Structure 1
Amino acid sequence: MPEDIEIRTLKRIAAHVSEIWSCHPEPTHLLFQLDRDNEACALRAVRRVGSGYVRVERSFASQVAQDAWIFDDHLPWDELGVELEVLMADREGCAALAKESGGWWRLALCSQTPEAEIYQAYEAHTVIDGRDPGAEDAGRGYDLLQAYLTAVHEGRTPSVVLAEHVGHTVTLNRPNGVDRVELTDGDEPPSEGTAVDCIDCRTNLHDQWSQPGDALATGDAILNELDVIDAVTALLHHADGWHAAQTVLDRALHILIQEQQMALTLPDFYDKDADPRALDTISGAVAAYYSAAARFGLTGSLVAQQSLTRFRQETEAQRLASLRIMREGLTGQAP
């Protein structure tokens, strides 16, 4: 299968899976088997967490509602099957596809990083049913990423910027002189054209809101250093399954340095239709939080180190659970 056709097929499959399993965090892989007629069956959308897989669940009010979803003619079930058949008809050399034991196949849904399949050693049937400890953080990471992209394209709102400066002393340049005040909760944004300089941060607040194109603008207010660590950790959970955590953090440091050395523009990876799974999109958001951490005396490297430590701690339990399930399957008995 020519490479461009394969990429189009993978993109269609990923789009169909996202429409059928329309929830966050999104699936990172599709597991399936082949029946006697070589048609894909036993579809299982999963998300890779650490070194294990967790089934992507949808909430249903009843069994009737779940059956209605399974047999919904408006969902692209048939289209997904056709694309899988196209892929399986000439599957040699497809780096995004891995053959597993027990007749299972595993397909990575992010065609940009098929090499992720190389270091994933666990088998497709090693799927953990139950609560995913990283799922809530991954969902929050997706929301943070969307808020960041909105801030890049539309600018940050005055209320968000002011919230970050509550307790700071600012100067207001008015027609009758300069006022020096301490910002408090509930303060209204100054009138248009009024310069607002923060003495504590040595920045102009007007420069921080309503400025589209600022690639280092976070979406939500950052009130303390824990907000930064929490946000970056959540973004790492969102990226998990598509990109290694260290890769995201290293790329973010590169973006931070790059953007600090030139006038901030709107790079291609901040396009209106930015792929929320793309490395540069996720790392761009992490770089914005690196930048925000500077006001608390934290360097990007320190944020990366603390966030990576937390991320690994939160995925360790999942890794051990998947390891136990794999061993149980190999030995035929519980460990």
Structure 2
Amino acid sequence: MTTHKDFRFAILYQRSLVKNHPLFDLTSRPITFIPIDSPVIGPRRERNLFSFRKRINRMDLFHCLSSYMPAFGIKVPTIITVHDLKYLRYPQLLGLRLKTVYYSWIIKRGIRKAAHIIAVSESTKNDIVNLGTDCGKIKVIYEANTLSYDKRADSPPSGIGGKPFMLFVGEDRPHKNIDRLIRAHLTLYDSLGERCPRLVLAGPDFQRLSRKYSEIADKVGIIFAGSVDDNRLMQLYRNALALVYPSLYEGFGLPILEAMAAGTPVITSNYSAMAEVAGSAAILVDPMSVDQINQAMMKIALHPAEHDRLKRLGLRHVRKYSWEKAALSTLKLYEHVISTNASFRGIRDYEEDLY
């Protein structure tokens, strides 16, 4: 972990989400860990964080690692990290109207009040600017692969039957575009028959799709792998013919880099953050076109030379992204915001917003 010799850090973490994290082994670093018991967002989170407000307000800087900046009581300069704006793009993801209004308010308020904003891609930065935000207070700091591949990842994953397969990693949300991916796979099966690679969908909440395709899934080779831990995920990446990731919207698209780090070719969308992150090291397709997704899958399935070419490109490309670079850029931003604290006008009491 990168730290600054003059900085001391206090990390507020959600106790229920972070267990046995290697970060907690850094006892020799100038870091204090403060557990809180609260959801990621909502009134109970606001109440719990409000109880820490005096401690937070004695600090020089507060960095909120999500778009959900605390609504009340924070008076020190604040940085927020915006990973995406999917809840503004796809409000139907939230269901209840009241929940949609609350998320929209808390996200837009955080963007407006923050002293500075970290966007995880140029695409996400553009989304923030489109809300009327001054681009001068937004800094792009890219994420990176978090998986550590070793020889254990080379062993074939169980439950696949030892046959070639293509992989999707994510959950069943409208913007993930899984229905078109499955239609592309069915077209591939119609063309190749028994030679068709299987399609493995790894992630939570595939009940809708498993019910929809229950009668044909075994025949056409669709496997709903469910939620997987990191070890199994690395096995899936390392053994897949390709990651197929035709999402309609992402703030970054971390599975793209995870697959490339495993030496796995990537098929992904030709716009939003996916094209930015993948660059020229992947096959880019129009995610609205089932035919383009199908043709890309066909190319990987039938042409080993194309598979090997994309593998080499991906392994080279993923080295451009590192958490060390991200950490150093973040530290520089901390220094900048703290040094300009005297002119800071972003964070005000909630009561001031009422007038």
Shared topology, TM-score over 0.5?
no
- Decide which structure has the larger Cα Rg and report it: 1
- Report the TM-score, using the length of structure 2 for normalisation: 0.27
- Report the TM-score, using the length of structure 1 for normalisation: 0.28
